[in-house]
Amino acid sequence: MAGKTKKIQLPKSVLEMKFMKKTRERIEKEMENMQDHGSLYSNIITNEMRSASGNFISESSFIFCDTMLEGRLSFKGMNPEIERLMELENADKNEQPSSEMVKDVSDEILAKKMEKFNKKRQNPDSEARNNKRKKVNN
Amino acid sequence: MKVKVGDVVLPGDFCEEIVTAGDKTKIILGPGLKKEVDGIYVSKAGTLRKRAPNTYWVDSYQKRYIPSRGENVIGIVVQKAGDIFRVDVGGSCTASLSYLSFEGATKKNRPKVVIGDVVYAKMLVASKDMEPEIVCVDSHGKKGRLGVLEDGFVFKCSLNLIRKILNPDCPLINSLKNQWPFELAAGMNGRIWIKANTLRETIALGNAILGSEYLSNEEIKSMCTNIAGILAGHIS
């Protein structure tokens, strides 16, 4: 556990400076304590105890297990204050899935336009000819 | 006995499915499941349930409320003791509710709460060895849906029924909400407070809630249309 959360330590060169004497002493003391703790209980604390909780989190309430509505509800204008809160919550819920961009052009119109566009691209010659004819006509 | 998700389980049963799932990801063990050194054991009788991806719990029939943190409960103020109110929430001991944990309350401006009032509050502290503490404000200091419930009618039911009617799939509230105006507060401690405009409507609402305990979704729908019909005078 202690190994995982590595503390940021001051470099040795800084600690050796004169004015860092107190800090150096404190750090040395801490190091000693850490080693003592480790050796003191090493015969009592087993690896099993260290990993006892593991991946399991205990939860004593149902509200975190099942999805549930808010317990305070009002309908048909019985309590406008609560209904406003309910509306706000519903609006939040409905907004989330439809976070896509709003479409300016519907899919159908786009499909039609693309069809025309592709036709033009496939036979640009005929199109050019058509244009020429048009110019001649004009 | 070895059990799997969806089974009817008894205290002492164990589930290897959860242990193997626990090797890979974090698992949330809900009420009724205990972690022991050599596995996961069931501690309540009921149905073992799972919610994707990683939550397991035992859905049990229970009437006794055990306070747990974060739940919304309905309590009755039974005593004023200096700075706090003692509130009966149906647990093993009364919960404490500070007079400062109301919206806009200050030391000078005390909230108007008297003995006998019904409050809808959130469990803030709930531990095995201590008195639970409840509050009537959220973390922003707003009351939201919490606070004193005025008028209305309170009745008790099993803790399962509360979870059943608050489930988004339950048709009860959806079939009643367009019938007549009403207000409802359901506490996870097995108390329901209802309020409607007339006595008939209140009784109808209470009966609809209590009657839906052992009914299927289809039966709940037909019961609601039946009750609404009686109330509107179509059926006598």
At B55-113, the pLDDT tens digits run: 999 999 999 999 999 999 999 999 998 899 999 999 999 999 999 999 989 999 999 99
B144 and B157 co-located in one domain: no
Give pairs for A14-23: CB < 8 Å, separation 24+. none
Q: Examine residue B2 and state whether it is found in any structural domain, yes or no.
A: no
**What 8-state DSSP symbol labels residue B43?**
-
pLDDT at position A136 over 90: no
Helix residue ranges per DSSP H, A11-123: 12-15, 21-40, 47-50, 80-95, 107-122
Q: Of A61, A73, A78, which has the smallest distance from its Cβ to B69's Cβ?
A: A61
Query: What CATH number is given to the structural domain containing B216?
Result: 3.30.1370.10
Nearest Cα residue in chain A from B164: A68
Q: Examine residue B67 and state whether it is found in any structural domain, yes or no.
A: no
Domain boundary among B107, B131, B149: B149
Q: Examine residue B3 and state whether it is found in any structural domain, yes or no.
A: no
Structure-block tokens of residue B160: 């399962």
In chain B, which residues have their Cβ closer than 8 Å to the Cβ of A55? 22-27
Helix (H, G, I), strand (E, B) or coil at B41: strand
Domain range enclosing B157: 153-232
Domain boundary among B105, B122, B149: B149
| pLDDT tens track for B108-165 | 999 999 999 999 999 999 988 999 999 999 988 888 899 999 999 999 999 999 999 9
Q: What percent of chain B has pLDDT over 90?
A: 73
Query: What CATH number is given to the structural domain containing B134?
Result: 2.40.50.140
Contact, B166 vs B174, CB < 8 A? no
Tally of domains in chain B: 3
Strands B46-51 and B55-59: antiparallel
Q: Examine residue B1 and state whether it is found in any structural domain, yes or no.
A: no
Q: Of A64, A68, A73, which has the smallest distance from its Cβ to B167's Cβ?
A: A68
Q: Closest approach of chain A CAs to the CA of B79, in angstroms?
A: 25
In chain A, which residues have their Cβ closer than 8 Å to the Cβ of B51? 65-67
Q: What's the rounded Cα separation, in Å, for the pair B48 and B45? A: 9
B142 and B163 co-located in one domain: no
Nearest Cα residue in chain A from B152: A78
Q: Examine residue B213 and state whether it is found in any structural domain, yes or no.
A: yes
Best to test chain B binding among A51, A73, A81, A84 (most B CBs inside 10 Å) = A73
ipTM surpasses 0.85: no
pTM: 0.73
Tell me chain B's radius of gyration from C-alpha atoms.
21
